[in-house]
């Protein structure tokens, strides 16, 4: 069992580079299944979710070659298997993108229901409706397998009757080689949806409107290969921005797209940090006090749910009462209990958290209940008096590359230590 041990109280100072975006990488790497020639993908984050996808790709017959630390060549020409078993699909959320790509390539796919962070109920009904609209038959088989089959995928109108990033991506993946025009209405607008569309277009797809709520896909019969660089991670950047503000730091965050961060920048300025934007970097400095604020998570370009836990830590340090409303997931406040152990005064009522700020945080043993919860606990540990121990850090490693060495580079006192599991139980269970 590995855990983080953090001695709090220091300021983060210096420069930190941001890795490629997790949620773009998981879509783009999977989308190489649709290519007929090798693809070279650059700026790939070195995280656990990516390692699992590369393993699945190899398992279904792709040739995967690591060129350097962040570049990978993927040749899917010899892929024949259209199945992803439970042991692999359960390890991360975006395994459901294999349904879209295998359906698009072979007209059939069998993929186990996905795993990922436990943020409440996470159905895939919108994905299924999109596949069905394109002409596929979908059945839920024993053992949690989702089977999709189509003799022919036919372009159509898909109205998403709920806002879903994953269903939008899956609809694009299945429609990109369908016959005729597909129009997705009420589509997701997140930067990684745009990144996926740009990648597919660079292979010869015809996708327009990504980044707006109407995406038009004219099906093509062939997709070649491409060399493509993944966008920087919006949420990793936001996490370092909040960490800098929380620790009274002075941090230059490099290799970012400031436009993707506007909602986080605006909130941090309101709360009391100075944020300077440059072409591909952003600087966050805090010298004064922190002010309360209210936050409501929203689809892009609103405040991202994936930054909700981190900003809550910052508001727990601010004077006054802040209200956080989670409007995307129905159970994304599980970390609050752990912040309370550290001395934060936060009450949760349904999808609202009331944060009475200004109480100092103290180091404590806590558990990363999911990926972003883990990031929030790291920020809390950096600001706390004394030592914080964070268990279950495999959640954090699913989505953040080299978190502890990046933080150490900014002067943080954080170490990853191994402690034997007294019960001999696997952490992944």
Q: Assess contact for 257 and 231: CB atoms under 8 A.
A: yes
Helix (H) or strand (E) holding 407: helix 403-409
**Biggest CA-to-CA distance, the chain:** 63
Structural tokens at position 108: 């059939």
Which residue is it, tokens 């999911």?
Answer: 370
- Smallest gap, in angstroms, from Cβ of residue 100 to ligand EPU? 12
Q: Assess contact for 45 and 70: CB atoms under 8 A.
A: yes
Q: CA angle 259-94-264, nearest 5°? A: 25
3-state secondary structure of 416: strand
Select 92 or 318, whichever has its Cβ closest to ligand EPU. 92
- Smallest gap, in angstroms, from Cβ of residue 260 to ligand EPU? 13
Q: Assess contact for 188 and 168: CB atoms under 8 A.
A: yes
Select 185 or 276, whichever has its Cβ closest to ligand EPU. 185
- Smallest gap, in angstroms, from Cβ of residue 115 to ligand EPU? 11
3-state secondary structure of 351: coil
Applying CB under 6 A, the residues found at the interface with ligand EPU are 22-23, 26, 93-94, 117, 121-127, 162, 164-167, 305-306, 328-329, 371-372, 399
Q: Assess contact for 293 and 270: CB atoms under 8 A.
A: yes
Q: 39, 117, 263, 383: which one is catalytic?
A: 117
CA distances to 125, 167, 182, 350 from 139, in Å: 12, 17, 23, 33
Cα 8 from Cα 425, distance rounded (Å)? 30
Residue 303 bridge partners (DSSP): 297
Select 318 or 378, whichever has its Cβ closest to ligand EPU. 378
Select 9 or 162, whichever has its Cβ closest to ligand EPU. 162
| Nearest to 42, CA basis, from 64, 75, 71 | 71
Q: Is 117 a catalytic residue?
A: yes
Which residue is it, tokens 């997790």?
Answer: 22
Count of Cβ atoms closer than 10 Å to residue 154 Cβ: 17
The H-assigned helical ranges of 247-307 are 262-271
- Smallest gap, in angstroms, from Cβ of residue 410 to ligand EPU? 22
- Smallest gap, in angstroms, from Cβ of residue 78 to ligand EPU? 27
Closest residue (Cβ) to ligand EPU?
166
The H-assigned helical ranges of 203-300 are 234-246, 262-271
- Smallest gap, in angstroms, from Cβ of residue 321 to ligand EPU? 26
Q: Which residues are known to be catalytic?
A: 117
């Amino acid at each position: 069992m590995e855990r983080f041990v953090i001695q709090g109280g220091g300021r983060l100072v210096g420069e930190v580079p941001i890795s490629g975006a997790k949620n773009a990488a998981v879509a783009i790497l999977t989308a190489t299944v649709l290519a007929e020639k090798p693809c070279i993908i650059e700026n790939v984050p070195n995280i656990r979710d990516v390692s699992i996808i590369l393993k699945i790709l190899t398992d279904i017959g792709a040739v995967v070659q690591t060129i350097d630390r962040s570049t990978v060549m993927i040749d899917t020409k010899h892929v024949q298997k259209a199945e992803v078993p439970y042991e692999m699909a359960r390890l991360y959320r975006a395994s459901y993108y294999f349904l879209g790509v295998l359906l698009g390539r072979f007209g059939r796919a069998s993929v186990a229901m996905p795993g990922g962070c436990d943020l409440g109920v996470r159905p895939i009904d919108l994905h299924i409706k999109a596949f069905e609209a394109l002409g596929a038959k979908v059945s839920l088989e024993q053992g949690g397998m989702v089977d999709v089959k189509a003799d022919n995928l036919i372009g159509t109108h898909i109205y998403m009757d709920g806002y879903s990033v994953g269903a939008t991506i899956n609809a694009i993946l299945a429609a990109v080689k369908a016959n005729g025009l597909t129009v997705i209405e009420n589509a997701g607008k997140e930067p990684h949806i745009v990144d996926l569309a740009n990648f597919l277009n660079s292979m010869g797809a015809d996708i327009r409107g990504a980044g707006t709520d109407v995406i038009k896909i004219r099906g093509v019969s062939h997709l070649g290969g491409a060399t493509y660089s993944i966008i920087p991670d919006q949420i990793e950047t936001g996490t370092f921005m909040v960490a800098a503000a929380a620790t009274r730091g002075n941090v230059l965050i490099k290799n970012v797209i400031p436009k993707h961060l506007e909602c986080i920048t605006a909130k941090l300025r309101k709360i009391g940090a100075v944020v300077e934007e440059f072409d591909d970097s952003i600087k966050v400095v805090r010298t004064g006090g922190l002010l309360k604020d209210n936050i409501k998570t929203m689809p892009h370009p609103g405040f991202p749910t994936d930054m909700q836990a981190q900003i809550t830590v910052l508001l727990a340090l601010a004077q006054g009462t802040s209200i956080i409303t989670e409007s995307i997931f129905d159970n994304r406040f599980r970390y609050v209990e752990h912040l309370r152990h550290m001395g934060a005064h936060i009450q949760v009522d349904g999808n609202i958290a009331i944060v009475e700020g200004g109480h100092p945080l103290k180091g404590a043993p806590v558990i990363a209940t999911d990926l972003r919860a883990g990031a929030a606990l790291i920020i809390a540990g950096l600001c706390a008096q004394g030592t914080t121990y964070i268990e279950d850090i495999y959640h954090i490693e699913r989505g953040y590359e080299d978190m502890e060495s990046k933080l150490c580079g900014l002067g943080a006192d954080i170490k990853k230590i191994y402690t034997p599991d007294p019960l001999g139980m696997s952490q992944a269970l």
